[in-house]
């Protein structure tokens, strides 16, 4: 679902460096005239943000201690404070950019009037960080002569990191759509967790994605470290984890745990693991979830591969009863027997 934007009334750009490198912050001193690029910015924001899975600001004790929430709320209460409050936002981002891998970039902030969200109209604030400068060939004409020179600028085709804060549900921390196209490691966590300090509303899409992520983490750590299970047994856990979600619309966590692990010790450990992650995932170990098909189709589920010396890899997608492991005394080597009906 695309976001409808009536008007962009304010825009400013600040340059935020990497704190670990001592880059500092360069503040934009004035609001930027936006008439020539307003339609391009509207199109960029409208196509980039997913409003089917919304987040909200939070803080451990009270949301009012979340600094970005406070600055955004001040702007919504008095839009004339936009320029000054965006400088505070840039400072907070700089303080959160202490990991050496975090890139410097241009922080663009926009005040949007008359956005439509779920059939209701409200204002919004867009915060977008561009970490990659596009290289351009700038062509101009001077009398009869055509001139060309190299230039760089911010992409109008893709948002790398961004959040869109809608002016509703203020007491709950507003409603927020996010974009983070860099989704690994510290470079990702600092944007959503350290800088914005947000968490998802309890939606089926978020729960489905969270369950897949939590299960993959558990398989990669606890299951992988188990000495009781064969590699085939471990691979089949990944296979069942995906199949159970595909075969159900609604699922209790007790049924999911039993159908995936087939092992009482692992089932108990997984419930404990889910309980530890409940605050972030919104999944209760004894609760239930509605499976979101879109989240399921986009999620990366783990496919287990058994590596045999440097010669063969076996990818396990199912068929546990058709694979047998043994030891050949004469050859002094291990072997796998694979049974199949047709070679593709």
pLDDT of residue 189: 77
Over range 28-34, report the average pLDDT: 90
- The span from the CA of 184 to the CA of 228, in Å, is 31
- 59 in a structural domain: yes
State the pTM of this model: 0.67
pLDDT of residue 185: 53
- 46 in a structural domain: yes
pLDDT of residue 302: 65
Pairing of strands 55-57, 198-200: antiparallel
Per-residue tokens: 313: 């890899």
Q: pLDDT tens digits, residue range 38-72?
A: 999 999 998 888 787 788 998 888 899 999 999 99
pLDDT of residue 131: 83
- 165 in a structural domain: yes
Over range 10-24, report the average pLDDT: 93
- 228 in a structural domain: yes
- 1 in a structural domain: no
Q: How many CB atoms lie within 10 A of CB 313?
A: 9
197 and 323 inside one domain: no
Question: How confident is residue 270, by pLDDT bands cut at 50, 70 and 90?
Answer: very high
3-state secondary structure of 254: helix
- The span from the CA of 216 to the CA of 227, in Å, is 18
Q: Which residue's entry shows tokens 């092992």?
A: 263
Least confident of 154-158, 160-164, 260-264: 154-158
167 and 249 inside one domain: no
56 forms beta bridges with: 199
Q: pLDDT tens digits, residue range 100-126?
A: 888 899 999 999 999 987 778 999 999
Of 141, 173, 201, which one is at a domain's C-terminal end? 201
- 293 in a structural domain: yes
Of 136, 169, 201, which one is at a domain's C-terminal end? 201
The answer to whether residues 291 and 204 touch, using CB atoms and an 8 Å cutoff, is: yes
Element containing residue 178 per DSSP (H, E)? strand 175-180
- Residue-range definition of the domain harbouring residue 65: 7-201
pLDDT of residue 92: 96
- Mean pLDDT, the chain, whole residue set: 87
Over range 299-308, report the average pLDDT: 76
Q: pLDDT tens digits, residue range 194-252?
A: 999 998 877 788 888 889 889 989 998 999 888 888 888 888 898 898 899 999 999 89
Check pLDDT > 90 for residue 146.
no
Check pLDDT > 60 for residue 272.
yes
The answer to whether residues 190 and 96 touch, using CB atoms and an 8 Å cutoff, is: yes
Question: How confident is residue 187, by pLDDT bands cut at 50, 70 and 90?
Answer: low
- 19 in a structural domain: yes
pLDDT of residue 14: 95
pLDDT of residue 182: 61
- 343 in a structural domain: no
pLDDT higher at 152 or 105: 105
The CA-to-CA distance between both ends of the chain, in Å, stands at 40
User: For the chain, what is the domain count?
Assistant: 2
Check pLDDT > 90 for residue 83.
yes
Least confident of 39-43, 149-153, 306-310, 318-322: 149-153
Check pLDDT > 60 for residue 183.
no
């Amino acid at each position: 679902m695309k976001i409808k934007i009536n008007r962009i009334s304010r825009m400013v750009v600040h340059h935020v460096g990497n704190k670990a490198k001592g880059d500092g912050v360069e503040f934009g001193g004035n609001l930027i005239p936006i008439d020539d690029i307003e339609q391009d910015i509207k199109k960029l924001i409208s196509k980039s943000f997913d409003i089917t899975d919304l987040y909200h600001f939070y803080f451990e004790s009270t949301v009012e201690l979340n600094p970005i929430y406070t600055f955004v709320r001040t702007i919504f209460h008095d839009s004339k404070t936009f320029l000054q409050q965006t400088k505070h936002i840039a400072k907070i981002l700089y303080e959160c950019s202490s990991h050496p891998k975090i890139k410097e970039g241009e922080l663009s902030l926009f005040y949007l009037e008359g956005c439509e969200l779920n059939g209701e109209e409200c204002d919004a604030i867009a915060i977008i960080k561009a970490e990659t400068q596009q290289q351009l060939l700038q062509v101009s004409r001077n009398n009869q002569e055509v001139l060309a020179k190299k230039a760089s600028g911010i992409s109008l085709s893709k948002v790398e990191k961004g959040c869109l804060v809608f002016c509703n549900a203020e007491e709950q921390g507003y409603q927020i759509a996010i974009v983070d196209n860099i989704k690994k490691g510290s470079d990702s966590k600092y944007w959503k967790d350290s800088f914005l300090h947000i968490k998802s509303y309890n939606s089926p899409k978020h729960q489905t994605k969270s369950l897949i992520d939590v299960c993959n983490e558990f398989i990669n750590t606890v299951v992988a470290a188990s000495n009781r299970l064969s590699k085939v047994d471990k691979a089949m856990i990944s296979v069942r984890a995906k199949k159970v979600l595909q075969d159900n619309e609604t699922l209790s966590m007790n049924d999911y745990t039993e159908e995936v692990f087939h092992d009482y010790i692992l089932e108990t450990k997984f419930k404990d693991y889910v309980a530890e992650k409940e605050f972030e995932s919104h999944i209760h170990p004894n609760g239930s979830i509605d499976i979101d098909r879109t989240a399921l189709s986009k999620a990366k589920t783990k496919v287990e591969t058994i590596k045999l010396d440097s010669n063969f890899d076996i990818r396990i997608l199912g068929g546990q009863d058709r694979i047998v492991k043994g030891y050949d005394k004469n050859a002094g080597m291990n072997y796998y027997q694979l049974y199949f009906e047709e070679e593709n």
